Amino acid sequence: MKRREFMLLTGGVAIASTSAAYGQQSAKLPVVGFLVAGTQVSHGAWVAAFAQRLSELGWTDRRNVKIEYRWAEGNEDRYVEIGAELVKLDARVLVTVGGDSAKKATSKIPIVVALMSDPVGTGLVASLARPGGNITGMSIQSTDLAGKRIEFLKEALPTLQRFAILAYVDYAGTMLEVGAVHAASKSFGLEVVTLPVHAASDIEPAFASFNPQMQALYVPPNLLMNTNRILINKLAQQHRLPTMHGFREYVDSGGLISYGPNTPNLFRRAAEYVDKILRGAKPHELPVEQPTEFDLIVNLKVAKAIGLELSPSFLARANEVIE
């Protein structure tokens, strides 16, 4: 055999061996399965915040960890399917929003939930201090914030007498928040009507059935509303409806007011929980956290578009006014 042919042959074996070794190494990497509730547009910034923080903690995708992203696009059935997919991949830990679908997929693999409306009320965990199972993460306690959101809505609209809730009724966290909104509204003497939706296709018909006497719209955050927030705000503006939301991303997408925690920070905290679990911590050892800071965000451009004049005193209370 000629020397050149020998070198090519042995070089090829070396390359093949290296590739095989890399494949074996890659196969052994711990898998982090990320069940993304929405799309790149609706949830991309949150996913990026998670990935960046995980990288800061020393976990690089395809080097010492393998992150598998699955996008549900606001479809609950798809959410359940991708949960099962990630379980089959033998993920070391799952990351999600809400938690219901991931809980259905596994009772053994640790689950870190970046956003939970009310994990105790919905039965996801036994208590915040002692989760008790395979789920932990961040609770936004939407039920506790409902009263404050109604207070801000009433302050923005002093003549407010009646409003509607656009409610994804198949999500337990939303229904708990709906109950809290109804209870809080009584103390303000407000009339509340719930507009039920089951899927994205129900959103436009819900607006079409809207009673003209309704003066505002309350939108509890969940996977369906998060994914379709641009459409929701577009329809609200067409109906000249002031809107109240739980996350500032809704206001960035054309909503009027939001009051809630900083969502990218919650996803960064979720990455820190994943880091701890990858290093050996158990989910039941990690208490569920609650945010301690909440921001009031107002979109003045939307107010002008729907012909609403907000008082200087109300605007002065906002943490940020988008102009």
Domain boundaries, the chain: 28-140+263-285, 142-260+294-322
Which residue in 206, 41, 37, 42 sits closest to 115, CA to CA?
A: 37
Q: What phi-psi label fits residue 73: left (phi over 0), alpha (psi between -120 and 50 degrees) or beta?
A: left
Which parts of 147-270 are beta strand (E)?
A: 162-168, 191-197, 217-219, 243-245, 257-260
Q: What is the pLDDT along the chain (323 residues), one digit of tens a residue?
A: 443 333 333 343 333 333 333 444 445 899 999 999 888 888 999 999 999 999 999 999 999 999 999 998 888 888 889 989 999 999 999 999 887 778 888 999 999 999 998 899 889 999 999 999 999 999 988 888 999 999 999 999 999 999 999 999 999 889 999 999 999 999 999 999 999 999 999 999 999 998 889 999 999 999 899 999 999 999 999 999 999 999 999 999 999 999 999 999 999 999 999 999 999 999 999 999 999 889 999 999 999 999 999 999 999 999 999 99
pTM of the full structure: 0.85
Q: Do domains 28-140+263-285 and 142-260+294-322 have the same CATH topology?
A: yes
Tell me which CATH code domain 142-260+294-322 carries.
Answer: 3.40.50.2300
> May I ask the CATH architecture of the domain 28-140+263-285?
3-Layer(aba) Sandwich (3.40)
